[in-house]
Amino acid sequence: MPGELVFIGLGLNDEKDLSLRGLETIREANTIFAELYTNLMPTFSLSRLERLSKKTISVVSRRDLEEKSGDKILDAAKKGKTVLLVPGDPLIATTHVDLRIRAEKQGVKTQIVHGASIISAVIGLSGLQNYKFGRSVTIPFPSEFSSVETPYTVVMENMRRGLHTLCFLDIRAEDQRYMTIQQGLEVLLEIEKRKRKHVITPGTLAVGIARAGSSHPIVKARFVTELMNCEFGPPPHSLVFPGRLHFVEAEALVTFAEAPESVTELVR
Q: What domains does the chain contain, in order, with CATH numbers?
A: 4-113 (3.40.1010.10), 118-266 (3.30.950.10)
| Of 64, 78, 97, 90, the residue nearest 4 (C-alpha) | 78
Euclidean distance between CA atoms 120 and 85, whole angstroms: 19
113 touches 36 (CB < 8 A): no
Does 236 sit behind a cis peptide bond, omega within 30 degrees of 0 on the bond before it? yes
pLDDT in tens, 19-28: 999 999 999 9
Contacts of 143 (CB under 8 A, 6+ apart): none
Question: Does the pLDDT value for residue 150 go beyond 70?
Answer: yes
Which of the four pLDDT bands, split at 50, 70 and 90, describes residue 165?
very high
What's the predicted TM-score (pTM) here?
A: 0.92
Which of the four pLDDT bands, split at 50, 70 and 90, describes residue 213?
very high
pLDDT in tens, 72-118: 999 999 999 999 999 999 998 777 999 999 999 999 999 999 999 99
Q: Which residues pair with 164 in a beta bridge?
A: 133
